[in-house]
Structure 1
Amino acid sequence: MSAVAVEEESFGALLRSWRQRRRVSQLDLGIEAGVSSRHISFLETGRARPSREMVVKLAEELEVPLRHRNRLLVAAGFAPVYPEREVREMHAVRQALDKILAGHEPYPALVVDAAWNLVAANTAAAMFMEGVPAELLEEPVNVMRLSLHPQAMGGRLLNLAEVRAHLLPRLRRQAEVSGDGRLAELHDELAAYTYPGVDLNVAHVPGPGDILVPLRIAAGDRVLSMFTTIATFGTPVDVTVSELAIETFWPNDEETAQAFRRN
């Protein structure tokens, strides 16, 4: 391993990186953690070594994702404390997800991981896979890629410019907040997609009756209009569970609701 790689994985460098990402000063972090800014400085430069409790405390104050808290612990010389199990191994979690997905029928619902890879979906969500090239459906299926790829939903969205203008900034912010390089790469890939004949610079000016930007999807001779909500598990201590998100799709008008109820 090179000296650069070692430095990048040192506890001090990781702590500094997360503190700067959160735009928190050494003084403010020290106050929240109950130590001096001088001690924070010593931790970042390697002149002081943290206890395991201090690593966990600092990670909590900086809202570091559980996966990266384990990295901080390992870099400080401690064993990871947050487990990472497969969803299928956690019966209660799997049961909860199955009930949520089934209970949302006849409308689409799906579960994704931190990188927006599909973990589970209900029957109605199959509409997002219709007519999609096989290579986009190879494991792991990425929901964000399906949403904007010109040969997937990106080619069926009638308000593509509006939806894209919301999804890409959200993905970029998620990459910055989480420190997940996979999301940064995914953002750059999606931002590079081209759509012949589509003006991506069209700005949507909300009208007096607008609440949110719906997904307006061409479905044969119909137009389905939907909005989404995203839910996560509260107080997770497992890495996998902390990264799961449940996205549910809701009809934005009665015509769309009836179309799903008829299927």
Structure 2
Amino acid sequence: MALATPTPRVGELLRDWRQRRNLSQMEVSLDSAVSSRHLSFIETGRARPSREMVLHLAERLEVPLRERNRLLLAAGFAPEYRERSLEDEEMAPVRGALDRFLKAHEPFPAIVVDGGWNMVAGNAAIGLLIEEIAPELLADPPPNALRLTLHPDGMAPRIVNFAEWSGHLMHRLRRAAAITADAGLRGLHDELAEYPDVRLDPPQGHGVGEEIVLPLRLRRGDDVLELFSTMTTFGSAVDITLTELSVEAFYPADERTAQLLRQAVGA
């Protein structure tokens, strides 16, 4: 007979988030205008926080919206934040904005990923990045962008600076897992770490002082594309789906790459 797992109390969850942020009770107290004594009582279960207090502390601790709902439920309150599918009618303005951004970024590649790095949208130029990826990696939508990049049947054989790029991505993934406490991201990290030649961190001292940003050097035929990327998020979103969406836009790092991309996409 399986034993039920006890539901964590809100105080325990708040303490976990405080410790995850490497903050003392005194630091949180000063930042949130809540006495350290009262905060201690909340964490130990001696005091029951109000709904407003839970949200106030969650804001100060930068708890993701999905986890704020969990805090509210643990405190006996209804969730505050909704999670809509990107396909919902209410999300039509968001889809339109994303489509316009992706199209406007052509002939340079751009993708939209969710909180698990699953690729939910991309523009026409993304075909240049995934053109030699094994079909089975693209078979189950949405494909995972990190898996497509680091899998030996994905982009990995074409990445000239694979040690640096894989270390960069793994460092980002590990940081995201730590910030969000997302078990799915931790599992993805463990999976990718087992792929051949994947680095957990960029090689120490490589390229220091030589480059402004770390480029992705991707072999395409007899050419090598040099790209760097930026990440854009919905900073003012109050919907869980939107807060977890990011747009990764790739830019040419040199004029030769820009010309090759324009020729390939027909721009």
**TM-score, normalised relative to structure 2:** 0.91
CA contact (8 A) 1:118 1:140 kept: yes
Asked if 1:127 corresponds to 2:128, the answer is yes
SS of the residue corresponding to residue 230 of structure 2 reads: strand
Residue 251 of structure 2: aligned partner: 250
Cα distance, 1:32 vs structure 2? 2.3
Task: Map Cα deviations across residues 7-26 of structure 1 (whole Å, 9 max, x no partner).
Answer: 4x321111111010001111
Structure 1: stretches of 5+ with no match in the other structure: none
Distance 1:139 1:164 in 2: 23
Residue 6 of structure 1: aligned partner: 6
Cα distance, 1:6 vs structure 2? 1.9
CA contact (8 A) 2:108 2:261 kept: yes
Cα distance, 1:44 vs structure 2? 1.3
Cα distance, 1:165 vs structure 2? 1.8
Cα distance, 1:131 vs structure 2? 2.4
Residue 92 of structure 2: aligned partner: 91
SS of the residue corresponding to residue 6 of structure 2 reads: helix
SS of the residue corresponding to residue 160 of structure 2 reads: coil
SS of the residue corresponding to residue 151 of structure 1 reads: coil
Distance 1:174 1:243 in 2: 11
Distance 1:79 1:56 in 2: 12
CA contact (8 A) 1:161 1:201 kept: yes
Aligned residue pair count: 259
SS of the residue corresponding to residue 110 of structure 1 reads: strand
Asked if 1:193 corresponds to 2:195, the answer is yes
Instruction: Give runs of aligned pairs for residues 30-69 of structure 1, distance below 5 A.
Output: 30-69=29-68
Give runs of ≥4 in structure 1 deviating > 6 Å: none
Cα distance, 1:195 vs structure 2? 4.0
Structure 1 stretch displaced more, 23-32 or 76-85: 23-32
CA contact (8 A) 2:165 2:216 kept: yes
The Cα RMSD (Å) is 2.0
Residue 182 of structure 1: aligned partner: 184
CA contact (8 A) 1:251 1:257 kept: yes
**TM-score, normalised relative to structure 1:** 0.93
Cα distance, 1:129 vs structure 2? 2.4
Cα distance, 1:58 vs structure 2? 0.3
Residue 263 of structure 2: aligned partner: 262
Distance 2:263 2:33 in 1: 59
Distance 1:239 1:91 in 2: 16
CA contact (8 A) 1:226 1:249 kept: yes
Residue 150 of structure 1: aligned partner: 152
SS of the residue corresponding to residue 80 of structure 2 reads: coil
Residue 166 of structure 2: aligned partner: 164
Distance 1:57 1:221 in 2: 56
Amino acid at match of 1:143: A
In structure 2, do the counterparts of structure 1 residues 178 and 92 end up closer, same or farther at CA, with 3 Å as the change threshold? same
Distance 1:252 1:237 in 2: 35
Cα distance, 1:34 vs structure 2? 2.1
Distance 2:41 2:87 in 1: 43
Task: Map Cα deviations across residues 193-223 of structure 1 (whole Å, 9 max, x no partner).
Answer: 1149x9x986563265511111111111111
